[in-house]
């Protein structure tokens, strides 16, 4: 299958900038090819397609295995054990991201986090406004798992809070019908 930036923008309900950003990373990693198509007069159009390496990344149904594993832990150990395991997994993810994000401003950390998420294949953007910083994940890395175990959403929220070193609120969720998940980071004001 081949697609243009406009087609991808419409299909994914994201901005052209988000599509270009993701395509740039995927091309650099060798997962997507770009071709120029000439269709008569006028400007040629650029189309994108998966390489063999990109197709090899297609889902392998690990989510089914993981859901079964979580169900077994839930039955044998209980919900507290599942929450504890997910908490530790979130901490490990946060540690990996924190090592790659230098001490900097809150806004810089949010930008760097979205770059790292994009590098992992999670289409993400950051928006800074008067209400705080919004990190928007357009593609849920754990969608099938989260549909069955909502605690996965808590794990992602906690992970972002640990990386940002600030409280984080989940303000929109894919599971509730939104186009992606949005996490609001509100700077904590000091009492000076």
What CATH number is attached to the domain comprising 6? Answer: 1.10.10.10
- Which residues span the domain enclosing 9? 2-56
What is d(CA 129, CA 83) in angstroms, rounded to the nearest whole number? 33
**pLDDT digits 0-9 by tens, 26-59:** 999 998 999 998 877 888 888 898 888 887 776 5
What confidence score (pLDDT) does residue 59 get?
Answer: 58
What is d(CA 112, CA 62) in angstroms, rounded to the nearest whole number? 28
Asked if residue 26 and residue 99 are part of one domain, the reply reads no
Asked if residue 118 and residue 67 are part of one domain, the reply reads yes
Asked if residue 135 and residue 80 are part of one domain, the reply reads yes
Asked if residue 11 and residue 76 are part of one domain, the reply reads no
Q: In this model, does residue 7 exceed pLDDT 80? A: yes
Segment 173-191 mean pLDDT:
81
What is d(CA 160, CA 147) in angstroms, rounded to the nearest whole number? 20
Asked if residue 104 and residue 153 are part of one domain, the reply reads yes
What confidence score (pLDDT) does residue 53 get?
Answer: 84
Q: Identify the band that residue 188 occupies on the pLDDT scale cut at 50, 70 and 90.
A: low
CB 12 within 8 A of CB 19: yes
Q: Which residues pair with 137 in a beta bridge?
A: 124, 181
> Which has more pLDDT, 137 or 188?
137
Asked, for residue 82, whether it belongs to a domain, the answer is yes
């Amino acid at each position: 299958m081949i697609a243009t930036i406009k087609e991808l923008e419409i299909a994914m309900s994201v901005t052209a900038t988000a599509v270009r950003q993701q395509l740039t990373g995927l091309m650099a990693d060798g997962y997507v090819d770009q071709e120029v198509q000439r269709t008569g007069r006028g400007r040629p159009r650029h189309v994108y397609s998966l390489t063999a390496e990109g197709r090899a990344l297609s889902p392998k149904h690990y989510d089914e295995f993981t859901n079964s594993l979580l169900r077994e832990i839930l039955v044998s150990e209980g919900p507290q054990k599942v929450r504890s395991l997910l908490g530790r997994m979130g901490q490990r993810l946060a540690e990996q991201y924190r090592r790659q994000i230098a001490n900097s401003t809150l806004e810089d950390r949010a930008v760097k986090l979205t770059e790292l998420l994009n590098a992992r294949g999670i289409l993400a953007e950051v928006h800074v406004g008067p209400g705080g910083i919004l990190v928007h994940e357009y593609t849920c890395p754990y969608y099938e798992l989260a549909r069955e175990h909502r605690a996965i959403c808590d794990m992602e929220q906690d992970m972002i809070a640990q990386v940002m070193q600030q409280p984080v609120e989940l303000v929109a969720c894919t599971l509730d019908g939104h186009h992606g998940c949005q996490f609001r980071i509100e700077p904590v004001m000091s009492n000076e």
